[in-house]
Amino acid sequence: MHPLLSLCVFWLLPVALTLEEDSPLDCRPRRSVPYHRDNALLFREDGVFNYSTMLLREDLDLLVLGAREAVFALDLKDISKKHASVKWEVTEEQEEECKNKGKDAETDCKNYIRILHKTEDDRMYVCGTNAFDPECDYMSYADGKLTLEKKGEDGKGKCPFDPFQKYASIMFENDLYSATSMNFLGSEPVLMRSSPVSIRTEFKSSWLNEPNFVSMTQMPESQFSEDGDDDKVYVFFSETAVECDCYNKLVVSRVARVCKGDLGGLRTLQKKWTSFLKARLDCPVLESQLPYIIQDTYRWCDPQQRWKDCVFYAVFTPQSDTSDLSAVCAYSVSDISRVFAEGKFKTPVPVETSFVKWVMYSGDVPFPRPGACIDNAAREEGITRSLDLPDRTLQFIKDKPLMDQAIQPIGAKPLLVRRGATFTSIIVNQVQAADGNKYHVMFVGTEDGTLVKAVNYDEEMFIIEEVQLFETPEPIKILKFSNITGQIYAGSDYGAVQMPLATCGRSSSCMDCVLTRDPYCGWDKVDRKCVFLSNSQRELIQSLKNGDASLCPEADPIKPVNRSIWPGGNLKLRCTAPSNLARTVWERDGNPLTPAARLQFLGDGLLILNASDSDAGQYRCLSIEHSKADEYSTAVAEYQVSIGAVGTGGGTPTFEAQVNGPSVAGLQVVIALLVVALLALFAWNFYKGHIPLPWNCGKKTRQQSQVTSEQGDLYQNAPRPALAEDKPLVVGTDNGRSNNNHAGEAASGAAEENEDPMVNLPTLKYIDDESEI
Residue from 210, 257, 261 nearest 397 by CA:
257
Q: Report yes or no on 277 lying in a domain.
A: yes
Residue 546 shares a structural domain with residue 577: no
Q: Where are the alpha helices (DSSP H) in 46-86?
A: none
Last residue of one domain, picked from the residues 374, 390, 407: 407
Q: Report yes or no on 493 lying in a domain.
A: no
Q: Where are the alpha helices (DSSP H) in 213-348?
A: 333-342
CATH number at residue 313: 2.130.10.10
Residue 573 shares a structural domain with residue 607: yes
Distance CA 306, CA 288 (A): 35
Predicted pLDDT at 672: 74
Q: Report yes or no on 350 lying in a domain.
A: yes
Predicted pLDDT at 144: 92
Residue 392 shares a structural domain with residue 270: yes
Distances (CA, A) of 621 to 223, 557, 574, 713: 61, 13, 9, 72
Structural domain for 625, as ranges: 561-651
Last residue of one domain, picked from the residues 407, 437, 466: 407
Residue 19 φ/ψ, nearest 5 degrees: -65, -35
Residue from 665, 587, 664, 569 nearest 623 by CA:
587
CATH number at residue 549: 3.30.1680.10
Predicted pLDDT at 682: 67
Last residue of one domain, picked from the residues 374, 407, 440: 407
Distance CA 515, CA 518 (A): 8
Residue from 414, 472, 419, 463 nearest 442 by CA:
463
Residue 579 shares a structural domain with residue 710: no
Radius of gyration of the chain (CA): 38
CATH number at residue 616: 2.60.40.10
Q: Report yes or no on 75 lying in a domain.
A: no
Residue from 452, 427, 431, 441 nearest 533 by CA:
431
Residue 309 shares a structural domain with residue 366: yes
Distance CA 698, CA 727 (A): 15
Residue 229 shares a structural domain with residue 355: yes
Residue from 327, 322, 257, 324 nearest 295 by CA:
327
Q: Which amino acid type is present at position 532? A: F
Residue 549 shares a structural domain with residue 578: no
Residue 324 shares a structural domain with residue 229: yes
Predicted pLDDT at 197: 80
Predicted pLDDT at 356: 79
Predicted pLDDT at 212: 96
Q: Per-residue b/e over 428-463, b at no fewer than 16 CB within 10 Å? A: bbebebbeeeebbbbbbbbebbbbbbbbbbeeebbb
Mean pLDDT in runs of 10 for the chain (773 residues)?
37 35 62 93 95 96 97 97 96 94 93 96 96 96 94 93 95 94 92 90 94 96 90 97 83 96 94 96 87 96 90 94 89 96 92 78 93 93 93 95 96 91 95 92 96 92 95 94 95 96 93 96 93 88 93 89 92 92 93 91 92 93 92 93 63 39 54 79 66 44 39 38 35 37 37 37 34 30
Residue from 572, 578, 624, 579 nearest 601 by CA:
572
Q: Report yes or no on 435 lying in a domain.
A: no
Q: What angle do CA 426, 429, 435 make, to 5 degrees?
A: 140
Residue 241 shares a structural domain with residue 336: yes
Predicted pLDDT at 246: 73
Distance CA 413, CA 548 (A): 28
Q: Do the beta carbons of residue 517 and residue 538 sit within 8 Å?
A: no
For the chain, what percentages of helix, strand and coil (3-state, to nearest 5) are there?
20, 35, 45
Q: Report yes or no on 152 lying in a domain.
A: no
Residue 719 shares a structural domain with residue 738: yes
Q: Report yes or no on 128 lying in a domain.
A: no
Distance CA 567, CA 598 (A): 13
Residue 279 shares a structural domain with residue 348: yes
Distance CA 314, CA 295 (A): 7
- How many domains would you assign to the chain? 4
Give 630-678 as a DSSP string: -EEEEEEEEEEEEEPPTTSGGGS--PPPPSSS--HHHHHHHHHHHHHHH
Distance CA 140, CA 123 (A): 5
Q: Report yes or no on 375 lying in a domain.
A: yes
Residue 43: its H or E element: strand 41-43
Residue 238 shares a structural domain with residue 320: yes
Distance CA 580, CA 477 (A): 27
Q: Do the beta carbons of residue 279 and residue 403 sit within 8 Å?
A: yes
Distances (CA, A) of 644 to 12, 354, 613, 638: 62, 89, 9, 19
